[in-house]
Chain A
Amino acid sequence: MNKSLRWRGITIVAVIALAVWAFYPPAEKVNLGLDLKGGVHLVMRVQTDAALRIETETTVERLRETLARASVQYAKLELTGPTEFVVEGIENDQGFRQAAAEVDTVFGRSPGAGRYTYTMRPLIANQLREEAVAQALQTIERRVNELGVVEPIVARHGAANQILVQLPGVTDVQRAKEIIRSTALLELKIVEQGPFPSQDAATQAVGNTLPPDLEIVPGSEDVAATGGGTPTTVYYIVRRVAQITGRDLRNARPSLDENNLPAVGFSLNQDGARRFGDLTEQNVNRQLAIILDNRVVSAPVIQSRITDEGQITGAFTQQEAQDLGLVLRSGALPAPMDFLEERTVGPSLGAESIRAGVTAAVGGLLLVVLFMLFYYKLAGLNALTSIIVNLMILLGMMAYLGATVTLPGFAGFILTIGMGVDSNVLIFERIKEELGTAKGVRAAVNAGFDRVWWTIVDTHVASLIGALLLLNFGTGPIRGFATTLIIGLASNVFTAVFVSRTMFEVVLSRRTQLQTLSI
């Protein structure tokens, strides 16, 4: 065996060894997609308009307070859209502008005097949208991690504002969804008036016009007050802006209330505790509304000054208390979410798909190999080697790159088997043709490989173009297919040309006077 042949042999063995090392043991190193492992695939959209509205509302409330402090008189100050508010009937224009100066960094003010329309600056609005999505992403990530899902994916997806969540192996889909999408916006507010049995009653109590800084929030009747009956919905009048929110939380854990019923205990951070202390001290004997996602869960009466500890009670089950603790710990979502897409694959279907995929791949391999051996005789062995080395490199690369094997990915494997022999066929057919011209075996083999080389390059580039665009087009499973196809195409050039030629050369170098070739 000559020197160059030995090096070729060593290269091939090294490549195979690397590939096997990369994917062995396959159960650990090869990633299975959701369609094979079972799990949930969710696409959600952050309602960024809601996040902007919150920002605008907060600005309006702050401005109201500032104007009150500066004693600037005005007739009307109200929201006209998620990113817009108007001020009307300003008496002291100079004084107003001075007091409202800080608003100008975020909002653009319409020209004029005495009446202004404020619109959020587009740059800031985009930035806020961006922040809302980023914050939602982080929050969901924390929640998913607390759920204990192995290898979850939480990522931005497609168009702006979309978030993709993949939870492999999750079986209680409904619970996972509740936890992910719960806004978990916790607010602690002093009850100004109420509870009232209906929304109308609440409105009447404030003389039919609700002051702009107050709002009506529904909630369940206190369980203790019903004396065992079904709690009805009641309405509370509270301030629009919360003094304490979920942002001030340090921790939240499931606990038990005085009646040994499941509850959620929370503790506040330093800053929150100070404000909470002030708030409770000033409002002893009044009700404190604990509001979760715009619904009052409970409204206990403040007995004395409380600083950093509190408890949320309600008609919780153990699981609910635990989940509420989880979502409070992970923080509130900056805005509600819209569900755009959900795909759930049960574990039994996943297992079934793996079985089907493997059967199909083995079946395809057998059919193709039998045909090649039947048609090309000994040279068919060559093709068989190419296919097997090809599949090993394919698996090795998939494992190395951390690519995901999906059910369509199996289709990619199978196509790699079927189409992969194309290069072998091209070469073999050419060799047969050249053998017919009686130039001798060696010349025929050389001509076969040399003449077909550029054809192989051209066909592979063309297929690669299709596969790359597929990668760009598809969702998870299709991407798995495209990845398999791309890696398969690349390794195919190596096996069909380099490996196969080396095998021919080995045979030729053994017997220098070869007259026939089994092909």
Chain B
Amino acid sequence: MQIFKAPNYNFIRWRWHALVLSLLVIVAGAAAMMSGGGLPLGIDFSGGTIVVVKFDQAVSEDQVRRAVSGIPVEVGVQQYGAPEDREWLIRLPQTQTVEQGTSLEQGSLQIVQSLQKAGLPSFEVISTEIVGPVIGADLQRRGIYATLASLVAITLYIAVRFRFSFALGAIAATFHDIFVTLAFLTFFGYELSLNVVAAILTITGYSVNDTIVVFDRVRENLRSMRRDALDQVVNTSVNQTLSRTVITAGTTFLAVLSLYLFGGEVLRGFAFTMLVGIISGTYSTVFIASAIAIVLSQRRRAATAAAAAPRPDTRPGRKARGAKAS
């Protein structure tokens, strides 16, 4: 059985359409982000206090809100998990700029005391998260550093193993995936937590993975298809690896889907990010990475082609086109 029988789609011809589509998604995401005042940061980065409580009997959101209304900051109240779990998440923003002694704990104590005094059914605190400004800033810095470092390291690796233009193609595709994922996170109202950043870093690896498979094939085909133009070689390679690209995306998607459905509330953001990233990664491998690699390689390929079959009249033309495209 085969999904694609000797596929021969002309992906390269669609590259501009694909690019426009991606740009639309990314711009829409950016616009949504701007209008919402940036991507909401999870407690790991913004700091603050989260207390999750489980009530013995069902309570309404209104009851919980009223119970904590006495706390003089903006309190977030949210159902946690399925309604029948009777779990509620109560969140306080970061109000302190410096930690002094036990000052950080006041928020969680206030929440618990307010709930106790409100005459609600008895409850159990099932988790508490308190993150101070020092830790929040530290995690922000490390998150950015880790993402950038992984991009640089992967670029270097591809540049050494393949060629620099391929590395740029792979990185462009990876950036594309990161931005598209962020756009979808914004559309669906997820916030940037530690787990989501971990998922984005994983997507980085996954996306590059996909791209490398295609590039490997391109490298192999460059030897056997010496007379073809680079875009032809790339198109053939994308087609040859198409089954693999789609099947791997499929199995990974299935596995992550199971995580999204059964993995519980804590991993929901992670699983969602992965789901979007897998689709975007597959799409960008086929349309974005190769397109950029071609554009950037055009000039060099022209030189090699000219050396292999000297046709001096076409050379300046190709060169000019390559220069214009890049």
Partner of A346, one of B124, B157, B248: B124
User: A465's contact among B103, B130, B153, B194, by CB below 8 Å, is which?
Assistant: B153
Q: Does B99 contact A (CB under 8 A)?
A: yes
Bound Cα distance from A356 to B268, whole angstroms: 11
Question: Does the CB pair A462–B244 fall under 8 Å?
Answer: no
Contact B259 A472 (CB under 8 A): no
* A340: Cβ under 8 A from any B Cβ: yes
In chain A, what residue has the closest Cβ to B149? A469
**Interface contact A432-B2, CB-CB below 8 Å:** yes
Measured in the bound complex, the distance between the Cα atoms of B128 and A432 in whole Å is 53
Interface size, chain B (Cβ < 8 Å)? 78
Q: Which of A349, A418, A451 interacts with B220 by CB under 8 Å? A: A451
Which residues from 377 to 430 on chain A have a C-beta closer than 8 Å to any C-beta of chain B? 377, 407-408, 410-411, 414-415, 417-419, 421-422, 425-426, 429
Among B131, B145, B213, B220, the most chain A Cβ lie within 10 Å of the Cβ of B213
Q: Is the interface of B mostly helix, strand, loop or mixed?
A: helix
B209 x A459 contact (CB < 8 A): yes
Q: Are B201 and A454 in contact (CB under 8 A)?
A: no
Task: Tell whether, in the assembled complex, residue A414 and residue B194 are in contact, meaning their CB atoms are under 8 Å apart.
Answer: no
Out of B146, B262, B264, which one reaches A470, CB within 8 Å?
B146
Residue total for A at the interface (Cβ-Cβ under 8 A) = 77
Contact segment of B31-39, B134-142, B304-312 = B134-142
Complex CA distance for A415 and B281, rounded to whole angstroms:
15
> B255 touching A418 by the CB < 8 A rule?
yes
Interface contact B270-A411, CB-CB below 8 Å: yes
**In the complex, residue of chain B having the shortest beta-carbon distance to the beta carbon of A479:** B198
Collect the chain A residues with CB atoms within 8 Å of residue B93's CB.
none
| B125 within 8 A of partner (CB) | yes
**Interchain CB contact (< 8 A) of B150 among A353, A422, A469:** A469
Q: Does A375 contact B (CB under 8 A)?
A: yes
Q: Counting CB contacts under 8 A, is A266 at the interface?
A: no
Q: How far is the CB of B301 from chain A (nearest CB, A)?
A: 21
From the candidates A344, A408, A418, A432, name the one contacting B267 in the complex (CB within 8 A): A408
Is the C-beta of A364 less than 8 angstroms from some C-beta in chain B?
A: yes
Say whether A212 faces chain B, with CB atoms less than 8 Å apart: no
CB of A478 within 8 A of CB of B198, answer yes
| B258 contacts chain A at the CB level, 8 A cutoff | yes
Contact, CB under 8 Å: A485 / B202: yes
Within the complex, what minimum Cβ distance (angstroms) separates B99 from chain A?
Answer: 4
On chain A, the residues within 8 Å of B99 by CB distance are 45, 338-340
Per a CB cutoff under 8 Å, which of B146, B240, B247 touches A375? Answer: B247
Check B198 against A470 for contact (C-beta < 8 Å). Answer: yes
Q: Does A473 make an interface contact (CB < 8 A)? A: yes
Contact B258 A458 (CB under 8 A): no
**Which stretch in A97-105, A197-205, A365-373 binds the other chain?**
A365-373
User: Cβ of A124: which chain B residues have Cβ within 8 Å of it?
Assistant: none
A516 touches B (CB below 8 Å): no
B159 proximity list for chain A (CB < 8 A): none
- Chain B residues near A356 (CB, 8 Å)? 262-264, 266-267
Query: Which residues of A are found within 8 Å of B254, using beta-carbon distances?
Result: 364, 367-368, 371, 418
- Which of A341, A353, A414, A475 contacts B258, CB < 8 Å? A414
Q: When the two chains form their complex, are residues A419 and B198 in contact, meaning their CB atoms are under 8 A apart?
A: no
Min CB gap A378→B, angstroms: 12
CB-based closest 3 A-B pairs:
A418-B255, A356-B264, A466-B205
